[in-house]
Chains A and B, each alone.
Chain A
Amino acid sequence: MKYLSKLHKILDSGEFAVTAEIGPPKHASAHGIRHHAEMLKNHVDATNITDCQTAIVRISSIAAGVHILDCGIEPIIQMTCRDRNRIAMQADALGAYCLGMRNMLCLSGDHQKFGNHPTAKNVYDVDSMQLIYLMKRMRDEKQFFSGEAIKDHEPRFYIGAVANPFADPFEFRVDRLEKKVEAGAQYIQTQCIFDMERFERFMEMVRERGLDQRVHILAGVTPLKGWRAAKYLQTGVSGMIVPDSMVERLKSAEDPKKEGVNICIEQIKHIKENVKGVHGVHIMAIAWEEVVPEIVERSGLYPRPKAELE
C-alpha cells in the first residue's frame, strides 16, 4: 500500500493520531507560525492550517503550509468553498501539491459576515461535498473538475472532511458524514466536543452504520482559557453546544486556564478509552498553540510514532 501522507500511514496503521491546528496571522510575517510549528513538531502527527478562519484575512493556508513543512511538520491544508471558484481551487491544489503538501481538508467555511470583510461577495461555486468528490476524482481518475484529463502529475491528496455532531438536524449529521465518505473523505475531524453525551450518541450511530470502519474519525477538542470563552462558544457561535456544567466548572476554578487544560485532558482520555470508533484527536487550541505539548504529554499520547514514507 502506498501511503499518500504520514498522517495516512499513522491512521491506517491503527495508531491513535494526534493533530493540532495553527492559525496563520493577520500580517505578512511567518515568525509566529514557525515558532508554533517548532513548539509542536514532536508532539503532533500533522497540523491543520486554517484557511482564513472565521472569514478574516490571514496568510493563506498554503503559504503558511510552506513554513510548517519547512519546520518539519506535515501540514493539513484547509480549503474552504467560500473564497475560490473551481478554477482557483484546482490551481491551489496543484500549487499546494507541488510545494510538498499531501493532506487536504475540505470544508464549507464560515460565512463572510463573521469576518473583517463582511461586504465581500462569497463564491460557493462548489460545496464541500463536491470538493471532496472532485479532489478524489483528480487523484484517482486523473481528471480536472470539468472532466478534462490531467496528462501527468495529478495531485494525490489524502482527503479529509469535517463533521459537526452538534449542529442540526442531529439525525441527519451521520447521514451527511456517510455522504462525505461516499464522496471520498478518508478522515474526518469533528467540531470541538464539549457535550460528550451527544458526541457519544453520534458515534453510536456512526458505528451502527459501520462508518468507523470506512473512515478515520478524529475527535475535535478545545482547551478553554476560562468561563468567558466557554460562554462565548455557548451563545455566540452557531453549531456549538457547551453544557452549563462546563461553564460553571471553569467559573469556580481557582486557576481557570489550568482547569481548562485539565478538562481537555480528561476528554481526550475518556474518548480514547471509552468511545469506540474514534481513531485520533484533533486539538484546536485557539490562539493557545503553546499549550498543546502539555496536553499531548499528560494525555499519554507522547512520544508520537515515527512514520516515514518510502
Chain B
Amino acid sequence: MIIAQQKTIKDIAAMISDCKKVLFVGCAGCVTVCLSGGEKETEILASALRMMRKLEGNPLETVTYTATRQCDPEYIPPMDEMAKDVDAIVSLACGVGVQYLAERFTDKWVVPALDTKFIGGSVTHGIWEEKCGLCGECILHKTGGICPIIRCSKSILNGPCGGSQYGKCEISKDVECAWQLIYDRMKTLGKLDKLMEIQPPKDWTKSRDGGPRKAIREDVMIG
C-alpha cells in the first residue's frame, strides 16, 4: 500500500490560514490502513484545527467527508455539494487523491494534509517500511525476492558495495544491507551462482525517467 504521514498541524494550518470554511476529505484506502488519512484522522484533524483557530480568535468552520477512494474519480462527484461554499479543500489522501480533487474542483484551493512517503507494508503496529521502488520492470526473480532498487541505498544491481558490514548498510546501523539479505537468501536456496551473472544497466524509461507513465488495458476498457 501507499504509506503516508500527516504533516504537522502548524504546516496544515498555514496552508488554510486565510480560509473561513474548509472541507476535509479523508480516504478509505491505503491511508486508512496506515492510520494517516482515514475517517478517524480526518475528524481529529478538523477538530484540532477548529480549536486552534478558535484560540486564535479566528474561528474555522469545517465540513468532513471520507471518500471510498480518492484515487478513483468516480468517488469524487458525491462531494460536489459539500465543496460548493468552502474556501478550501484539505485532502488527507496520498498525492493522487489531492490531484483528483484539484482536477474536479477547478475553482477551489486544494491542499495536501499528508506527505506521501513510499510503497510498503507494516512491520508491526505503528511501523511501516519501504519495499518497492516502482521501477516499472520487476527483477525480484533475480534477487531472491528482495528489491535492491529501493532497499539498497545506492540501487546497486551487482552488489553489495564496500560499505556493507555486519549485515548493515553504510548509511545507518538501523538499515539492513539489501545485498546481504539477497546473498543470504540465495545461499539458502542454493542459487548463489545466479549472483555471478553481471546484471546490465536498467532501462529507466520504464520508471519515472521515461516521463509520466500510463498503464493501458484494452481488454477491460468499456465502450
Query: Taking beta carbons and an 8 Å cutoff, which residues of A are in contact with B?
Result: 81-82, 86, 108-111, 113-114, 122, 124-130, 133-134, 145, 162-164, 166-169, 172, 175-176, 178-179, 182-183, 191, 238-240
Q: Which residues of B contact A168 (CB under 8 A)?
A: 160, 164-167, 177, 180
Assess whether B201 is in contact with A238, with CB atoms less than 8 Å apart.
no
Assess whether B201 is in contact with A86, with CB atoms less than 8 Å apart.
yes
A186 to chain B, nearest CB (A): 16
Closest partner residue, chain A, to B184 (CB atom): A169
Q: Which 6 A-B pairs have the closest CB atoms?
A: A164-B162, A129-B158, A238-B170, A108-B161, A127-B156, A126-B201
Assess whether A167 is in contact with B162, with CB atoms less than 8 Å apart.
yes
A18 to chain B, nearest CB (A): 22
Assess whether A179 is in contact with B164, with CB atoms less than 8 Å apart.
no
Assess whether A125 is in contact with B196, with CB atoms less than 8 Å apart.
no
Assess whether B162 is in contact with A145, with CB atoms less than 8 Å apart.
no
A178 to chain B, nearest CB (A): 7
- B196's partner among A108, A110, A175, A238 (CB-CB below 8 A) is A175
Assembled-state Cα–Cα distance A127/B162 (Å): 12
Within 8 Å of chain A (Cβ to Cβ): is B171? yes
Within 8 Å of chain A (Cβ to Cβ): is B54? no
Assembled-state Cα–Cα distance A261/B163 (Å): 26
Q: Which residues of A contact B58 (CB under 8 A)?
A: none
Interface residues as binary, B39-59 with A (CB distance below 8 Å gives 1, 0 otherwise): 000000000000000000000
Assess whether B158 is in contact with A127, with CB atoms less than 8 Å apart.
yes
Assess whether A110 is in contact with B156, with CB atoms less than 8 Å apart.
no
Within 8 Å of chain A (Cβ to Cβ): is B79? no
Assess whether A128 is in contact with B201, with CB atoms less than 8 Å apart.
no
Quick one: which of B150-179 are within 8 Å of A by CB? 153-171, 177
Known A82-B154, A167-B165, A172-B195; judge A111-B200 contact (CB<8 A): no
The residue among A86, A166, A176 with the most chain B CB atoms within 10 A of its own CB is: A176
Closest partner residue, chain B, to A162 (CB atom): B162
Known A108-B156, A124-B154; judge A130-B171 contact (CB<8 A): no
Assess whether B163 is in contact with A238, with CB atoms less than 8 Å apart.
yes
Q: What are 24 A-B pairs with beta-carbon distances under 8 A?
A: A86-B201, A108-B156, A109-B154, A110-B163, A111-B153, A111-B154, A111-B163, A111-B170, A113-B153, A124-B154, A127-B155, A127-B157, A127-B158, A128-B158, A129-B158, A130-B198, A163-B162, A166-B165, A168-B160, A169-B180, A175-B196, A179-B158, A238-B170, A239-B170
Q: Which residues of B contact A238 (CB under 8 A)?
A: 163-165, 168-170
Assembled-state Cα–Cα distance A130/B7 (Å): 40
Assess whether A134 is in contact with B201, with CB atoms less than 8 Å apart.
yes
Assess whether A239 is in contact with B165, with CB atoms less than 8 Å apart.
yes
Within 8 Å of chain A (Cβ to Cβ): is B75? no
Assembled-state Cα–Cα distance A176/B192 (Å): 12
B121 to chain A, nearest CB (A): 24
Q: Which residues of A contact B118 (CB under 8 A)?
A: none
Assembled-state Cα–Cα distance A109/B162 (Å): 9
The residue among B156, B167, B184, B199 with the most chain A CB atoms within 10 A of its own CB is: B156
Within 8 Å of chain A (Cβ to Cβ): is B183? yes
- A239's partner among B164, B183, B196, B200 (CB-CB below 8 A) is B164
B182 to chain A, nearest CB (A): 10
Quick one: which of B119-172 are within 8 Å of A by CB? 153-171
Assembled-state Cα–Cα distance A122/B158 (Å): 17
Assembled-state Cα–Cα distance A158/B168 (Å): 33
Quick one: which of B64-100 are within 8 Å of A by CB? none
Assembled-state Cα–Cα distance A103/B161 (Å): 22
Assess whether B163 is in contact with A239, with CB atoms less than 8 Å apart.
yes
Q: Which residues of A contact B156 (CB under 8 A)?
A: 108, 124, 127-128
The residue among A82, A109, A168, A239 with the most chain B CB atoms within 10 A of its own CB is: A168
